[in-house]
Amino acid sequence: MSDAATRLLIDVGNSRLKWALADDHAMLVSAQALAHGGDPASVVELLTLAADIREAWIANVTGEAHGERLAAALAVRHHLRPRFAKPIDGLQGLRIAYEDPSRLGVDRWLALLAAWSRDRAAACVVSAGTALTFDAVDDRGQHLGGIIASGLTTAQQAVLGATRFAAAGPEFQYTAGLGSDTEACVRQGALHACVGLVERLTARYGGQRRYLTGGDAETLRPYLAGDWIVVPDLVLEGLQQMPA
């Protein structure tokens, strides 16, 4: 951990809380991910931070109530008053496709902002987590839109919860082929659905750069064709771009 770290960055997803510290030049100096079990504020209370942290930025997709508890925990435990990131149309030249930019998920926007800020080139960003999302930007910084679909585990849970056959819970030992029992067939169905969706969209909207982030990024990567840049902390990189 750098003594120069002054900004706390927090990415609150549906199942995990990721946090990092940035120095005065907005470079990440540490990053960690912890499961929050539906209570992100309890994780914030466990963080050990240096006394020189001056500001905190949060990307929160878990709702306003959780955001309020996060802010309260940071104020009590670390004497910080956090700022919550919101999509800003035109920031760094990135223009949002939504008619109402505020409705774009802040995590998707920050990941796309980070990808655009890296090279200012046409790119696509895939986030593989509870949900599987795909967003694309052209070489002028125009967001082309995106999709939201079920992630690997969510897809398995949906099938297992909507059918009557006996099966255990989601499985996580993926292969390139077919399943040979019910659990494996559901697992492989989820994998091929996610990979097929990503490759179909990439063929049309892939751009010059392809970024993969999220908790299942490393799981999906071996099954995707082409060159992919895996960046686990892409949302946190986006938070670095937020104005002071």
pLDDT digits (tens, 9 = 90+) for 201-233: 999 999 999 999 999 999 999 999 999 999 999
| CA-wise closest residue to 182 among 209, 149, 159 | 159
Structure tokens at 4: 């120069």
Q: How far apart are the first and last CA of the chain?
A: 21
pLDDT confidence of residue 2? 44
pLDDT confidence of residue 106? 97
d(C-alpha 87, C-alpha 79), whole Å? 26
- Per-state percent for the chain, helix, strand, coil, to nearest 5: 35, 25, 40
How many separate helices (H) and strands (E) can be counted in the chain? 7, 10
Residues 171-204 have pLDDT tens digits of 678 999 999 988 899 999 999 999 999 999 999 9
pLDDT confidence of residue 166? 66
d(C-alpha 125, C-alpha 106), whole Å? 14
CA–CA–CA angle 129, 29, 57 (5° rounding): 60
Count Cβ atoms within 10 A of the Cβ of residue 224 and give its class: 0-12 exposed, 13-18 middle, 19 or more buried: middle
* Residue 236 main-chain phi, psi, to 5 deg: -65, -35
pLDDT confidence of residue 28? 65
pTM: 0.90
Q: Which residues are catalytic?
A: 107
In the chain the domains, ranked by start, together with CATH numbers, are: 7-84 (3.30.420.40), 91-240 (3.30.420.40)
pLDDT confidence of residue 4? 61
Residues 20-79 have pLDDT tens digits of 988 766 666 667 888 898 899 988 878 877 777 888 999 999 999 999 999 999 999 888
Total residue length of the chain: 244
3-state secondary structure of 56: strand
Residues 126-137 have pLDDT tens digits of 999 999 999 999
pLDDT confidence of residue 182? 87
pLDDT confidence of residue 142? 98
